[in-house]
Amino acid sequence: DTGVSQDPRHKITKRGQNVTFRCDPISEHNRLYWYRQTLGQGPEFLTYFQNEAQLEKSRLLSDRFSAERPKGSFSTLEIQRTEQGDSAMYLCASSSVAGNSYNEQFFGPGTRLTVL
């Protein structure tokens, strides 16, 4: 257990429905990252926050995706009008910038999304 938690662990939804995932980072970490991982591939960067500010979004993050980190603690990732191609593992990671030259990212267990 890395200290990063994600909820739910699994989500099955029908195409066209909206889904929301939550990530709780390690409490003192100011950076939070979202990644998407499809079967047999490494994770791909989606977006990251420093405190409550969303500093970068990947081109993978279409208009149907939105992420928030309203108080600089937990974060949510919402997917609207889900498509079958959204089926993947969604991973969250957190890191602390201060005093850490490695900026090591600690990953949560992921949320497995299946869109039927």
Partner 1 sequence: KNQVEQSPQSLIILEGKNCTLQCNYTVSPFSNLRWYKQDTGRGPVSLTIMTFSENTKSNGRYTATLDADTKQSSLHITASQLSDSASYICVVSARGGGNKLTFGTGTQLKVEL
Where do contacts with partner 1 occur on this chain (CB under 8 A)? 2, 4, 31, 33, 40-45, 48, 50, 55-56, 89, 91, 93, 95, 101-110, 112
What is the rounded distance in angstroms from the CA atom of residue 72 to the CA atom of residue 84? 31
Q: How far is the CB of 10 from partner 1 (least distance, A)?
A: 9
Nearer to partner 1, 58 or 80 (CB): 58
Nearer to partner 1, 27 or 101 (CB): 101
Q: Which two tokens stand for residue 82?
A: 């889900």
What is the rounded distance in angstroms from the CA atom of residue 61 to the CA atom of residue 50? 18
What is the rounded distance in angstroms from the CA atom of residue 112 to the CA atom of residue 67? 17
